[in-house]
Structure 1
């Protein structure tokens, strides 16, 4: 498997393999050199504008899209969040924190491919420059991976382990499949131990508008309902003769396994639905490691 197995409760983590094409990396050298030589905000903005086509380059964009089978990294959608943008996870121009305070952006990461994420246009427009940091921001020119881990963004990174704090459910009578914090249903006495993680999940859901984009909600709900239908088929076999169970169940299990594969659209929605609604024998079959 390319990625760790889903356990049925988490937003899918994007696993990066390799590096962008060398031809694209070579193109960034002049831009990076010129950017680091700039000494004023105006000069930096001019350099970034001059070379902005670098992160729009098909060489880079196609490589990024291949990492997650042409899915938005924040939503797992393929067509319900409009066109794809190459998003700067840490905003390059300016940063707006949770209180609305603004400061200079991470301009030195403008051409750093490790700061790029594939985002649907709709969540990317909502995200804009919103990027709250808990604690102290990194000093300028900190680009090393080890340095970046010392910073504590409130926004969950789709390539990080914190994706496990978001899941999906149909929590109310609206019938809509919504993104929710995995800690939402905990008793208050227990949730206090996950306050930071719960806050990150809520901030991410709000900033990206995960429950505010109608086309995205509709598509998620469609996949949830498809998964529910497969579960119902499995449950219906319980009253069938043994020979029919042995004929019907493998096909249902195969269908559900396809729905939770890394490459599948909305795989985390399907996994959450199975984990919540399927009988344990079916859950065990779907998530059993493939030998």
Structure 2
């Protein structure tokens, strides 16, 4: 998952105004008219897609992978139609809103760019903490005990770690806390441990491992010889490794996580 500063980088005023006008029209409709109205104006979030792709440098906000043989979806983070209760393949008990978040259907702040796998897996799931309630129209979304990690929240993104097996795990040590449960729910709902994603992460980790070994070996040679040739090579290897952590790189969070776990501080500093 990658942090996207969506709220600090909103789309154009014209597109925001269009969404607000559609919301005003939606709010006065009767419940039996809402879904048809939303479906009839689905082109609205399609207009936003190109900008959302640019914000993530062409990467899915949930997986940080790039779609090569498919296309991106605009996920309604809070479902525009009735949420499904999360039960299958999930050991964590949760609550579910009895009603859709229909009033957010055209709210630009409720869209997340998703690749096919996480979007299809998520569908209309939106688990909440057990014993809590969903927000209602006009209430702040931050008042809700959301069970899913949100890529537009820098704190949420920090809760994810990656094992050497390529899978996603909680970064917190207390695996019984709510944030650890949220990581588990996000893995389940977004299918973050899908086999192809796991394999891609392991490949990134292997590349990092190879580059780190080259850096350490070259550093030892440079330390013994003070050769400008070795220093030049060393700087190139460091640059190559650092480039893997840039926002433009695919699965940069995986690379940063791997580098930061190295025992050598000067290697860890490359990911800072």
TM class by smaller structure: 0.7 to 0.9
Q: Evaluate the alpha carbon distance shift between residue 182 and residue 131 of structure 1 in structure 2; reply closer, same or farther with a 3 A threshold.
A: same
> 1:30-179 maps to which residues of 2 (within 5 A)?
30-40=21-31, 42-57=32-47, 60-79=48-67, 82-99=70-87, 103-134=98-129, 135-142=131-138, 147-160=140-153, 161-171=155-165, 177-179=166-168
Q: Please give the TM-score of this superposition, normalised by the length of structure 2.
A: 0.87
When the two chains are superposed, the root-mean-square deviation of aligned CA atoms in Å is 2.1
Counterpart position of 1:264? 249
Comparing 215-224 with 21-30, which one deviates more in the overlay? 21-30
In 2: Cα distance, 1:54 partner to 1:266 partner? 29
Task: Return the offset for 1:114.
Answer: 0.2
> 1:123-272 maps to which residues of 2 (within 5 A)?
123-134=118-129, 135-142=131-138, 147-160=140-153, 161-171=155-165, 177-183=166-172, 186=173, 191=174, 195-212=177-194, 214-240=195-221, 241-243=225-227, 244-272=229-257
Q: Evaluate the alpha carbon distance shift between residue 201 and residue 139 of structure 1 in structure 2; reply closer, same or farther with a 3 A threshold.
A: closer
In 1: Cα distance, 2:97 partner to 2:152 partner? 26
| Residues 169, 179 of structure 1: 8 Å contact kept | yes
Task: Return the offset for 1:106.
Answer: 0.2
Identify the structure with bigger relative contact order (alpha carbons < 8 Å, sequence gap 6+): 1
Q: Evaluate the alpha carbon distance shift between residue 80 and residue 201 of structure 1 in structure 2; reply closer, same or farther with a 3 A threshold.
A: farther
In 2: Cα distance, 1:253 partner to 1:81 partner? 32
Unpaired segments of 5 or more residues in structure 1? 1-10, 172-176
| Residues 219, 234 of structure 2: 8 Å contact kept | no
Unpaired segments of 5 or more residues in structure 2? 89-95
Task: Return the offset for 1:251.
Answer: 1.1
Counterpart position of 1:174? none
In 1: Cα distance, 2:87 partner to 2:65 partner? 30
In 1: Cα distance, 2:193 partner to 2:200 partner? 12
Q: Evaluate the alpha carbon distance shift between residue 270 and residue 139 of structure 1 in structure 2; reply closer, same or farther with a 3 A threshold.
A: closer
Task: Return the offset for 1:81.
Answer: 8.4
